[in-house]
Amino acid sequence: MTPPGPRTPSTRRRTAAVLPVLAVVVALLLTGCTGIVAGVGAPVAGGRETVDQIRQRVDLGSLDPCTMVSPAQRAARDLGDAEPLKDDTSQPACQWLGKGRSANSDRITFRLYDSARSRAGDTGARVTDVLGFYTIELPSTTYHACNLLVDVAEKQTLQVTHLADADPGNDACTSGRDFTESALRTLTRISRR
C-alpha cells in the first residue's frame, strides 16, 4: 500500500472555486435574515411589494385612522364601531371598544412627525417587526396593555395601543400584534389608491 500523497491539482482547483461561491451564499442568507427586521427587500405578507416600496408611498396625513379596521376584523375581535378621537390634530386617532363582556379595546394613533425608532431605548422596549415593518413593543408595567409603534414611513409612526382583558394568561402584546397586522394589511391596500 502506498502512503497517500499530496492532493492532485484538480482537487485544489475545485476547492478553490467552491469556497468563494459558498462564502457568497452564506453572506446572502445572512443579509436576507437581517433585512426583514430592518424593513428591506422581503415582500410584505406574501405580497409583491417590499416594505421599502410601501414606505415610499404611505402618507398617514392623508388617511383616516378609523378606516384601518374593517367590519370583519372588528367582528373577529368582538369590537364595537370606530370612535374618532380629536385630542390632538397632529396625531389623528381612533378607538374601538370591546362589546359585551369583553374589556379589550384597541386604539390606532397616527404619529405624523415622530419616528418609532427613537423609542428603541425606552425601558422595556422590544425591537421586533410586524409584517416586515420595524416595530417597537412597549408593554405597560401598570396595566394589561401594550403599545406597538410601527415605522410606516419617514417620520411617520402607526401606533397601536391594545388594552387586554385582565386575564394573566393572555399577553397584551401578542393580541395587540394581531390587531396591528390587520391594520397594516389595510394600510398597504388603501395607500395604493
Higher-pLDDT residue of 160 and 43 is: 160
Percent of the chain with pLDDT over 70: 68
Query: pLDDT category, 104, cuts 50, 70, 90?
Result: confident
Low-confidence winner among 13-17, 97-101, 130-134 (lowest mean pLDDT): 13-17
Domains of the chain in sequence order: 51-190 (3.40.1000)
Burial pattern 11-31, b for ≥16 Cβ within 10 A else e, equals eeeeeeeeeeeeeeeeeeeee
Supply the pTM of this predicted model.
0.72
